[in-house]
Structure 1
């Protein structure tokens, strides 16, 4: 089969012919129909953690072509079903498979069935970023989720996580929630999940966000419904948020960027009992020890795969609780995507696997948000904002 394979020495990836995988006893074989890019995909090709020869890429959607020999009879998957999920690819030292290939094997319970109303390209852009947002909102900050999972197990493994509920915010008439990077893919899902939690809890939520003014109209509309927005480029945006909240501060905050001074500045707008979650670790340069009055809650999306993760100079332990949460979340996605949860807009990119590095990776860059730039004239090479880059295979 064709696959996009890491060339660590030259900090790139190339399409190669490699053996087609066979599913393990508890896995399914998926014929990949579409793949979606995330910023981590080009990052760990340009700055490789892995050795050459590994298949790159995370997000995929495709067709079930084979079932493993020991998949429980209670599962609802069958050959021909459309499914979506993600793999770790080259985003860690651990030797794991990637998704940017014509076929892949994955545990049967770490995919979700794509509803008939959702296109295969739309589905390809959901799995990793939606789970990232769900982990931030429900698994780590502890807002009420629209599905059941073992919260006691989460608290048993991670006492610092999922310790807060909207009920813990006292007699506040309104819960203030702030999202930094509101127009990122993770931010677009986070806003929807915040609204779902508010309705489930019967609490009114005021949603604040930081994003480019070009996206404000979109963010104010459904299904996001932001109440107040500030431009992240304004140096005084924390003061603007404090004024807009009438001094109450934010009960919750989610930093979808976690770069530069963003973690520190987001922390500065929290209420006295406020909590925040971030997507980049201290080891990754998001903040320094002792810099903040309350340490933000961090965790890697890879925890959902249920394996130990080694990257950025530290180890994230295997978490059965995180994997169990991901399984329940994906079961919910099978019916929620397209109805309760709107997929992020996509940009269909031409050329298949052969153009991922030259076009898609160039658009996303391999560094910080402000470093993304291209000098290409093609329409599909316009700057990326509030959308996912998707390739058909």
Structure 2
């Protein structure tokens, strides 16, 4: 099979021929049809954490099960059956651990960390959901404590006493922001709680974000120097109860923090080192965690070791089981990000996709390329098709 392989010592990425992996107990073999790009894919190629001689890169994937592990032959779970359409994510080169990524023609994965894709959704669209969707779910439910529709009521009694919970999503049109908004609405529907959803985004995206499934109550332009004051005004002077900073870089952390009321909480998705902020300067400490914890392994990351977290893995399995119910009841649980289908397959991920993503801060992205598919990224995911679904 072909795979996109990083040589960490030289930071070079190339297409290599590798043996097709064999599924072990609890795993399935997947023919990958589509992969979606995330900023971490480019960042940890330019700044490798991987210590192996070679490492398959990549995070999000969707495809079709072609074989199952020795213990799954009699499983009744749809995700453990040959022919199942599934999606999930791998850690790629984003750790020192020896675990291959998703950018390959065939991969293996634990079946319970996959979700069954409904027939109504393309595999290209499904490839955009897994990592970013779980990240949003971890932030909104596990860290901010909003009621979770698949993991029980997690709200505190103090939250429940409020007539309206004011939730801010900074950078609402990002991939993470699009999923976070849907999580907030799931929380409201599952609990009956009144939530006022407030977002920051470029004014050109406001009409899009007012529509289903995002349905923001209030939107402000983050370029407006008075956006923080406008956010506070939208809360009737109460301040923000829960905030999701989808950028989590330097000034965004400080500014989102300043919209919080005295009992507020905020979720961030980059640590102080990568995000270049100092938590000691903040009265309310941002809550940070890693999506990779959901995979259930020990993680070697930026000079530290994050121990395996069984609770995070259990949360991930519940989340993916929740998404999988769409395959049987036909009701899609999360609307996928808008897809920008990029040309060229595996061979063009690095020269095109990574060029668009950049390898540093989101605010520093730029490209001089003129092709339409190389336009700046906004409210969409870059997706590469590896094989047509009818093949």
> TM over 0.5, yes or no?
yes
Any residues of structure 2 matched to 1:41-120 within 5 Å, and which? 41-51=41-51, 52-71=53-72, 73-76=75-78, 77-120=80-123
Cα 1:212–1:10 change in 2 (3 A) is: farther
- Superposition map of 1:368-383 within 5 A: 368-383=361-376
2:204 corresponding residue in structure 1: 214
Q: TM-score, normalised by structure 2?
A: 0.93
| Aligned equivalents of 1:53, 1:170: Cα separation in 2 | 51
Give deviations 1:209-234, integer Å, cap 9, x for gaps: 11111211111111111111122223
Q: Please identify runs of 4+ aligned residues in structure 1 that moved more than 4 A.
A: none
**Among candidates 370, 373, 385, match of residue 378 of structure 2:** 385
Match of 1:361 in 2: 354
- Is contact 2:279–2:286 with CA below 8 Å preserved after alignment? no
Residue 389 of structure 2: aligned partner: none
Alpha-carbon contact 1:275-1:296 (below 8 Å) kept: yes
The aligned counterpart of 2:283 is: 293
Partners of 1:56 and 1:285 lie apart in 2 by: 22
Counterparts of 2:275 and 2:145 in 1: how far apart (Å)?
25
Deviation of residue 48 (structure 1)?
0.8
**Equivalent position of 1:143 in the other structure:** 146
In structure 2, the gaps of 5 or more residues are: 387-391
Q: CA deviation at 1:170?
A: 5.5
How far did 1:336 drift?
Answer: 4.2
**2:185 aligns to what?**
195
Contact 2:323/2:332 (8 A) holds in 1: no
1:155-174 map, 5 Å: 164-165=155-156, 167-169=157-159, 171-174=161-164
User: What CA RMSD, in Å, does the superposition of the two structures yield over aligned residues?
Assistant: 1.6
Which residue among 310, 314, 317 is the counterpart of 2:307? 317
What's the CA shift for 1:148? Answer: 3.4
Q: Compute the TM-score of the two structures, normalised by the length of structure 1.
A: 0.93
**C-alpha offsets along residues 67-86 of structure 1, whole Å, 9 cap, x if unaligned?**
00123734332101110000
C-alpha deviations, 1:322-368, integer Å up to 9, x for none? 00010010011113486332111001111000000010000111111
State the distance in 2 between where 1:11 and 1:144 align: 43
Task: Tell me how far apart the structure 1 counterparts of residues 187 and 238 of structure 2 sit (CA, whole Å).
Answer: 21
Q: C-alpha displacement at 1:235, in angstroms? A: 2.9
Whether the 8 Å CA contact 1:21–1:104 is kept in 2: the answer is yes
Q: Name the count of aligned residue pairs.
A: 380
